[in-house]
Amino acid sequence: MDEKKQTVDLSDTKTEIRLTYKEIKTIHFLREPTTDEWLDYRRRTSRFQFKRGRAEATDEATKAPMWLYNKICERVDGFSMNGTGLMELPDWKDKIPPQIKEAVMNIYLSQVEPGEEAEGN
């Protein structure tokens, strides 16, 4: 009997991240980053400075997940501002709290995990 292999459809470039914030369910719709965006994100996360003989992440490295969120988030459901749907505001991404952006990106970036054969290596 032939088993059909499961595959990831690379033409589906959208990801939905569901998050609860203040007991309200929110959905963040992300597209896949371009190669240039991904490389820029990786460069930003790699920036460190030395203070008192210790390496510390720069502000740019700390803000990298929020930068990537702003690049790849296309829509959010579940937020409003003074009774107006968030998506109706031209600067809607600026209204989303940074801890929400960071939490969404932590979930997004943790979706890739080693396969069974890679575990323990």
Question: Any idea what the Cα angle at residue 93 is, between residues 87 and 95, rounded to 5°?
Answer: 90
Q: Summarize pLDDT for 13-66 with one digit per residue, the tens.
A: 788 999 888 888 989 999 999 999 989 988 888 777 777 788 777 777 788 899
Contact 69, 104 (CB under 8 A): yes
List the domain boundaries for the chain: 17-111
pLDDT digits (tens, 9 = 90+) for 23-38: 889 899 999 999 999 8
Q: Which residue has the tokens 């952006």?
A: 101
Closest CA to 103 of 44, 18, 11, 3: 18
**Torsion sign (Cα): 38, 42, 44, 45:** positive
Rg, C-alpha atoms of the chain: 18
pLDDT the model gives residue 118: 47
The pTM assigned to this predicted structure is: 0.76
Q: Are 73 and 93 in contact (CB under 8 A)?
A: yes
List phi, psi (to 5°) of 10. Answer: -70, -10
